[in-house]
Amino acid sequence: MEMIVCRGWVACPILLEQRRRMKGARELFYYLKGGQVDFGEEHSKNCGHSQFGRIYEQGNYPEWDEDHPIHFVGHSAGAQLVRVLQQMLADKAFKGYENTNENWILSITSLSGAFNGTTRTYIDGIDPEDGRSMKPICLLQLLRLGVIIYDWLDIPCLKTYYNFGFDHFNMSWRKIGVLGLVDCLLGNSGPFASGDWILPDLTIQGSIRQNSHLNTFPNTFYFSYATKRTRKFMNSTIPSSIFGIHPMFFIRVLQMSQWRHPPHVSPPYKGYRDEDWQDNDGAMNTISMTHPRLPTEHPSYLVQNDSECQPLQPSIWYYKIVEADHIFFIVNRERAGVQFDLIYDSIFERCRKHIFRTTPPTLPNQTHQ
């Protein structure tokens, strides 16, 4: 068995780097198995980009199959991306790999997972009416222009340092020229014209659309850590502290705790209440991170103490509520301190000692520690 860590949405300046999760799932598959990334002919044609992407000459875990399953640890959008990957494995969506199934994934552990969307998308500029389009004037529009220009300039040293992942749209000046740049900036072409980027999937409406096609599988183990940095004070939700929240998230925690759905817009689902979505970690709402809830709620269990849920059962989303902001457990150990070690030690111990399908349990692959 192997453990793979998938990171996702971290902070607003990075919002635009993430492609749609189905595309990210395809890249992750070929990253592990090897070969050239195939985005699919129909999808590529509809979204206006190349069908084929990066070539992985040697997969990072070519042995991966049902007999050599993987434990995945996903942060933020990375957690939902792994769910998409598992569904694609079950649907045998990878050309040339007709033997895939959902049992290629043994467990999914989520850190601040983006399962049911976030109200942060509306604050940053997604229209709450449709959960897809951007408001004419908003932060996301500025970031969109910056990303397009960055990719168009196509400066190798910068692209090596940081790549937004839109190479398959061929937005380089070498390929589209000045007129092509203008076309992208006006929204007539490129990823933002086709909606082929991550934010529409991170709205509540987008997550409902995606969750309607994603299953919780009977032989897979699921565990999630939902984070929050808010508390109740005189019937209001406010940030729980000043020093315990990363500076780049403090204002975000406050904004999200005060978010109210526009009264003139239909709510994203029947039974929506603003107060349910006020607890947050600066990027995701706590209610969204526990387990898939929308459009139908998946089996779940709130864990107070690890010993009370052993032996673990597959197909149940075990979850904990943790006092932390959105990047507490992924940036560095120095900031999170002992709690960082405790979280990861518990994940590793759970995967090694308490999660297995066979008797005796499948042993870790000796060549991939």
Q: What's residue 1's pLDDT?
A: 53
pLDDT tens per residue across span 50-92: 777 888 998 999 999 999 999 999 999 999 999 999 999 999 9
pLDDT band at 245 (very low <50, low <70, confident <90, very high): confident
The predicted structure's pLDDT at residue 340:
80
pLDDT higher than 90, residue 229:
yes
Give the residue numbers spanning the domain of 112: 3-118+204-354
**Residue 360 within a domain:** no
- Say if residue 369's pLDDT is above 50: no
Where are the strands (E) in the chain, listed by range?
A: 2-6, 35-38, 52-56, 70-75, 105-111, 221-228, 230-233, 236-239, 300-302, 317-323
Q: Are 202 and 118 in contact (CB under 8 A)?
A: yes
Q: How many structural domains is the chain composed of?
A: 2
For residues 236 and 298, membership in a common domain is answered with yes
Asked if residue 157 and residue 111 are part of one domain, the reply reads: no
**Maximum distance among all Cα pairs of the chain, rounded to whole angstroms:** 63
The pLDDT tens digits of the residues spanning 185-220 come to: 999 998 898 877 889 999 999 999 999 999 999 999
In-domain check, residue 364:
no
Final residue before a domain boundary, out of 194, 214, 234: 194
Verify that 149 and 289 share a domain, yes or no. Answer: no
What is residue 338's predicted lDDT score, i.e. its pLDDT?
78
Which segment of 8-12, 140-144, 222-226 scores lowest on mean pLDDT? 8-12
Q: Domain for residue 365, yes or no?
A: no
Do the domain assignments include residue 125? Answer: no
Task: Reply yes or no on whether the pLDDT at 11 is more than 70.
Answer: no
Among residues 222, 221, 208, 233, the alpha carbon closest in space to that of 320 is found at 222
Using CA atoms of 234, 302, 315, 104 in order, give the dihedral in degrees to the nearest 10: 80
* Residue 236, domain CATH: 3.40.50.1820
Q: Are residues 113 and 139 in the same domain?
A: no
329-348: b (≥16 Cβ within 10 Å) or e: bbeeeeebeeebeebbeebe
Identify the residue with better confidence: 44 or 169: 169
Q: Do both 237 and 91 map to the same domain?
A: yes
Take residue 237 and report the two structure tokens written for it: 């939700």
Tell whether the model's pLDDT for residue 308 goes beyond 60: yes
Q: What does pLDDT average to over the chain?
A: 87
Q: What is the pLDDT of residue 10?
A: 35
Tens digit of pLDDT for each residue in 259-284? 999 999 999 999 999 999 999 999 99
Percent of the chain scoring above 70 in pLDDT: 89
Domain check: are 225 and 334 in the same one?
Answer: yes
Structure-model confidence comparison of residues 34 and 9, the more confident one:
34
Task: Identify whether 363 is part of a domain.
Answer: no
Q: What are phi and psi of 219, to 5 degrees?
A: -110, 10
What is the predicted pLDDT for the residue at 23? 73
Residue 316 and residue 233 share a domain: yes
Whether the predicted pLDDT of 306 surpasses 60: yes
How much is the average pLDDT of 222-240? 94
pLDDT at 6: 56
Last residue of a domain, one of 155, 170, 194: 194
Determine, yes or no, domain membership for 359: no
CB of 200 within 8 A of CB of 132? yes
Contacts of 326 (CB under 8 A, 6+ apart): 10, 11, 76, 112, 227, 249, 281, 282, 283, 284
Going by pLDDT thresholds of 50, 70 and 90, the confidence category of residue 8 is: very low
> What band does 5 get if pLDDT is binned at 50, 70 and 90?
low
Choosing from 194, 220, 241, the residue where a domain stops is: 194
Which of 5-9, 34-38, 172-176, 318-322 bottoms out in mean pLDDT, i.e. has the lowest?
5-9
pLDDT in tens, 341-364: 888 898 999 998 888 776 554 444
| 190 shares its domain with 225 | no
Q: Is the pLDDT of residue 31 over 50?
A: yes
Residues 161, 296, single domain; the answer is no
Residue 20 has what pLDDT?
52
Neighbours of 271 (CB within 10 A): 7
Same domain assignment for residues 246 and 300 = yes
Are 11 and 112 part of one and the same domain? yes
Beta bridge partners of 227: 322
Same domain, 216 and 72: yes
Is 190 inside a domain boundary?
yes
Residue 369 falls inside a structural domain: no
The pLDDT value recorded for residue 269 is 97
Residue 9: its pLDDT value, please?
A: 39
Q: Which residues contact 194 (CB under 8 A, 6 or more apart)?
A: 46, 47, 48, 49
Encode pLDDT of 127-138 as tens digits. Answer: 999 999 999 999
